[in-house]
Structure 1
Amino acid sequence: MKHPGPLITLFAGLALGLIMLSLNATTGEPAPSSRQRPASSPAPVPSPSPPVSPSVTPSPSPSTNAAPQTEYAGRTKDDTASVAISLRGDKAIAYFCDGRTQEAWMRGPVEEDGDMHLTSTDTPAKLDGVLSGGKVAGTVQIGDRTWAFDADKAVKPSGLYRATAEVRGAELKGGWIILQDGRQVGIVSRDGKPAAAPPIDPATGAVTIDDTRLTARPVVP
């Protein structure tokens, strides 16, 4: 009769294996019932917008069209002197001249109604006038003497001219009025001493004084 030892050992090993399989089945962690959702990424933080600069409306450029200039010229009522006035916008400059020794430059504003009260910084002279109907009527007062005048609109070359220069160490200042009929009245002062002025070329303003050629130019207020 054979010994049963090896068979018992075999059956004991199988039983132990079955017991271990059963324990693993009962103690193992159950599989998750559902997949975990991946953590959502944080929402991006918007970059701060750059500050908005306030809109700037550019200032209008000053007009390049200068106000037109108008000229007026005439004689005093006693026919002893001439008066010329240049107007531009609301400014005026006037010249009174008797062609010998008496002259005065005056300037000032022109009111909307045409009134003007021009004064001189060199002599005690003033012009009071009114622009109306295409001419200027008024008075010129120098010291204690007054002249009434009428000055009609002038068309170039008629009008008011001036020249300044230094000739042979002497300061020359010349003023001219060209009337509508072509007559000229003017004075040239040499270091403050007035004398009758030679005529200018109406087309170019050229004039020769003390053998020196100068150019008289239209006066602009």
Structure 2
Amino acid sequence: MKRSGPLLTLLGGLVLALVLLSLNATTGTRATSSSTTNDPPPASASPSPSPSPSPTKTSPSPSPTPAPPADADYAGRTDDDSAAIAVSLRDGRAVAYFCDGRDQESWLKGDVEDDGGMNLTSKNGGELNGTLKGGSVSGTVDIGGHEYAFTADRTVKPSGLYRATANVRGAEVDGGWIVLPDGRQVGILKRDGEPSAAPEIDPETGAVTIDGQRLTARPVTP
């Protein structure tokens, strides 16, 4: 009976050890399970940035249409100082008058280009080729087979181009006048087609007396 005591004590120790091992195993499993359950969920992948829109291509604006030269009057003399010339511009059209004040004259008409170029012609075959640049028209005029270079500066009334037509004492009268910027006048008066130097007009009113009859010379425009 004395030997059974130590044996029982040994068996009790073994049982206790087995119980402790069992408890440790159970606690470890629960800890592992709890750790797994409490882990935060993996972060979701951030969305890829949307591509930025490509810049909108704008079509180039159309070039502005050049405006025709402004309405104006020009007067001057040929380079050899033998004749005068006047040019009147209105709405892209031009009329010019070449006159030597004695017996040679020509009325010329035509279009004016947007760049100021002009080619004017007359019924008797005269031709004017000129260019408007800045404040003057320069070029050449071909009259009667002779070419004259000229420059006509922009001018204001009373300078400019005038004309009067009428029937005076049974004759067809046609007069043309150029009033230059310095006040001088150059003109030709035709009676039934016969040219002669024209009497001066009053540049303020255009009044002129021809063969005793009072006429009015008026500004010429295209």
TM more than 0.5: yes
Match of 1:72 in 2: 74
Give, as a single letter, the amino acid of the residue that structure 2 aligns with 1:199.
Answer: E
Shift of 1:176: 0.2
Shift of 1:68: 6.2
What does 1:61-140 correspond to in 2, within 5 Å? 69-121=71-123, 123-140=124-141
Structure 1 unaligned runs (5+)? Answer: 1-66
Give, as a single letter, the amino acid of the residue that structure 2 aligns with 1:203.
Answer: E
Distance (whole Å) between structure 2 residues aligned to residue 175 and residue 187 of structure 1:
6
Indicate the SS of the match to 1:100.
coil
- 1:183-220 Cα offsets, whole Å, 9 max, x none, are 00000000000000000001100000111100000001
Distance (whole Å) between structure 1 residues aligned to residue 140 and residue 173 of structure 2:
28
Match of 1:202 in 2: 203
Indicate the SS of the match to 2:221.
coil
Match of 1:31 in 2: none
What does 1:110-189 correspond to in 2, within 5 Å? 110-121=112-123, 123-189=124-190
Distance (whole Å) between structure 2 residues aligned to residue 204 and residue 144 of structure 1:
36
Indicate the SS of the match to 2:80.
coil
Distance (whole Å) between structure 1 residues aligned to residue 70 and residue 219 of structure 2:
14
Distance (whole Å) between structure 1 residues aligned to residue 221 and residue 115 of structure 2:
21
Distance (whole Å) between structure 2 residues aligned to residue 82 and residue 189 of structure 1:
17
Distance (whole Å) between structure 2 residues aligned to residue 68 and residue 151 of structure 1:
16
Structure 2 unaligned runs (5+)? Answer: 1-68
Q: Which ranges of 4 or more aligned residues in structure 1 deviate by more than 3 Å?
A: none
TM-score (normalizing by structure 2): 0.68
- 1:85-127 Cα offsets, whole Å, 9 max, x none, are 0000110000000000000000000001100000002x12010
TM-score (normalizing by structure 1): 0.68
How many residue pairs are counted as aligned between the two chains? 154
Shift of 1:143: 2.5
Distance (whole Å) between structure 2 residues aligned to residue 101 and residue 77 of structure 1:
19
Give, as a single letter, the amino acid of the residue that structure 2 aligns with 1:149.
Answer: F
Distance (whole Å) between structure 2 residues aligned to residue 103 and residue 173 of structure 1:
12
Distance (whole Å) between structure 1 residues aligned to residue 70 and residue 149 of structure 2:
27
- 1:16-62 Cα offsets, whole Å, 9 max, x none, are xxxxxxxxxxxxxxxxxxxxxxxxxxxxxxxxxxxxxxxxxxxxxxx
Shift of 1:134: 1.1
- CA RMSD between the two structures: 1.1
